[in-house]
Amino acid sequence: MVEKSRIPPAQRQVQDFPVLHIGDIPKFDAKTWDFRIEGAVKNPLHLSWEEFLKLPKSLTISDFHCVTGWTRLDNRWEGVLFRDVTRLCNPKPEAHAVSVLCDGGYYTSLPLSGLMQDDVILAYQWNGLFLEPSHGKPLRLVVPPKYAYKSAKWVRKLRFTKIQEIGYWEARGYSNTADPWTEDRYGLQT
């Protein structure tokens, strides 16, 4: 059993990795897939899958908290740290948030400052293996301090913005801050 201090309030520990998402699982074709960064950046990026895999690889180990009440501890994520990608695109001074756009129509947005933490990663491997399609293959954003709806699957584009946009679940009543430690699941959007 794990110390309770690692499990946020109203969460329970699981050993498996449940699958939750909206819509169908998008198809991945390594030959046509691309990754883009645009918006308030000095160096917009457009990378193929092969080019993305050549970026500096990092490993993080973090816990994963779903808004539905489960937590999976000690996940081993490999990919590119968000801050390393940010260095490549060189955000403009007015960039304060990033919208994450995904295959399948999903999207979310986070403050840039929160994405620059040491454990935020654009992951393509989980526990030593490339991601399964149901878990976001080929690329998933992982933001450990937030509920998992901020850890978007099937990431294709990052758009740096002046203000934080409202994401898919946030437009449907979920909290924009998504803090599992304060049980901030739902919030009113204006």
User: pLDDT by residue (tens digit) across 136-181?
Assistant: 999 999 999 999 999 999 999 999 999 999 999 999 999 999 999 9
Based on the structure, what is the number of domains in the chain?
1
190 inside domain = no
Share of the chain above pLDDT 90, in %: 89
33 inside domain = yes
Q: Are 137 and 28 in contact (CB under 8 A)?
A: yes
189 inside domain = no
Per-residue model confidence (pLDDT) at position 91: 98
31 inside domain = yes
Per-residue model confidence (pLDDT) at position 5: 84
Domain that holds residue 146: 4-16+25-182
